[in-house]
Structure 1
């Protein structure tokens, strides 16, 4: 890679970093499975423009000599979400991509970014605008960029300030709101579980059931039976 050669054993979780435009090739002598995650350089530039001159944003090449727990977790989550899809995909994947870009800039950028650790939060007015928008669009596949535009912030700053304001990421906040709305409909409406799933924007009843069980430890039907 990049004119250098290295022979190495591969272990589960080992991560290689291959910057855009870097010449590389590899070969192996045993059956192997691995995941390749390609990122547009413009994403790094958009996220890092506040701390590094976009022309100086470049990743440092790294052979797969060790693990990176955060990158591994993000890759697995992105892979699972791409396979499952459904409501929330855009918001969750936007959040994961932004988190990955920040991590790469912080740990693998050739120019050390001046990342600000200043505390802060969204103003009450902007927070209300965003949460009102989420409430009104629960049936839609919300996007991080849309929320950030309402707050007039970059996706990174919005993600950081929203979490400091609510203790939740936009994806977690939206999912929590959907679950709370679902509990109310299960208890006080005549809608079927499938109808509730559609009304709250889940892709189907099974997707709704998975999210509900993950949040509350029981299925919607089980919760409905206990609340009656």
Structure 2
């Protein structure tokens, strides 16, 4: 195949990956993704893909060890990947053709270049960001992030926005620290959020619990990058923003279940859950009983 024949991919377009995937996606982020981050999980057998070029930074994670053939500099090379190995293909760079024979699940994480810039914009010179291609690198943290996102989305895609954005911001900063052409020393402030800013964001969270809150929105409220905001928030509160939001939703749900004649589905919607089954699982995890049992006993 001539290099002029590579396929262009764009994770922002739902049908783009269908060009190279014989079998459909098993799990994926909602249409449009989460503010520039996209997740996909698929399983293929006897897989072959041509050279590709994506609009986003693309990270591939195999769910187990596997043998693959990659076409590098017009020559096929065999590579053995372990469970902690990942591939990183920067945006607008050509990825090699690939083949493998066994059945294999793949997690694919895609980050818009602007997402990476936004993750830590006040900490680095974003005009000089260049992510380096990695055909094979051993990175347990990236694998852990990918598997954690897969588990979260298997429970509920529609209620996973805040968790997904939090994980994606961690991933973006990790890319800048470890895989950028120019090493970035990202400042880690340990002082926490100023009291007036913490009060402002807590008020915003409580006023918007019924909405599908995002890390990007909260960081805009306090005029910080998502990464810097999340880091300082955790230092101030002892838990990450997405964990704090869940805690607030559960506490609000307890109040509504006790004091109002509302159905379980109405309560779940009033505290920001779009899936009643996910609300029930989260509530039981934190309180020890289902919302219905709690309602009947209080």
Fold match, TM over 0.5? yes
**Partners of 2:171 and 2:84 in 1: CA distance:** 16
Query: Which residue of 13, 32, 37 corresponds with 2:104?
Result: 32
Contact 1:2/1:22 (<8 A) preserved = no
If each structure's strand is expressed as a fraction of its own residues, which one has the higher value?
2
How many residue pairs get aligned? The number is 225
Q: 1:217 to 1:109 in 2, by over 3 A?
A: farther
| TM-score when normalising by structure 2 | 0.68
**Partners of 2:130 and 2:198 in 1: CA distance:** 34
Q: 1:219 to 1:95 in 2, by over 3 A?
A: same
If each structure's helix is expressed as a fraction of its own residues, which one has the higher value?
1
- Structure 1 moving runs of 4+ over 4 Å: 1-6, 80-83
**Partners of 2:292 and 2:141 in 1: CA distance:** 35
> How far is the alpha carbon of 1:212 from its aligned partner?
1.0
Q: 1:218 to 1:5 in 2, by over 3 A?
A: farther
Root mean square deviation of aligned Cα: 2.4
Correspondence for 2:204: 133
Correspondence for 2:158: 86
Correspondence for 2:87: 16
- Is 1:179 the counterpart of 2:247? The answer is no
Q: For each residue in 1:159-188, what CA deviation from the matched residue of structure 2 results, as whole angstroms up to 9, or x when unmatched?
A: 111111111211111110011111222233
Q: For each residue in 1:103-129, what CA deviation from the matched residue of structure 2 results, as whole angstroms up to 9, or x when unmatched?
A: 111122221102113312211111111
Correspondence for 2:130: 58
Q: 1:118 to 1:6 in 2, by over 3 A?
A: farther
| TM-score when normalising by structure 1 | 0.86
**Partners of 1:5 and 1:41 in 2: CA distance:** 30
Unaligned runs of 5+ in 1: none
Greater RCO (Cα-Cα under 8 Å, separation 6 or more): 1
Q: For each residue in 1:112-151, what CA deviation from the matched residue of structure 2 results, as whole angstroms up to 9, or x when unmatched?
A: 1021133122111111111111111110011212211221
Query: Which residue of 190, 200, 205 corresponds with 2:276?
Result: 205
Contact 1:2/1:23 (<8 A) preserved = no
**Partners of 1:48 and 1:157 in 2: CA distance:** 7
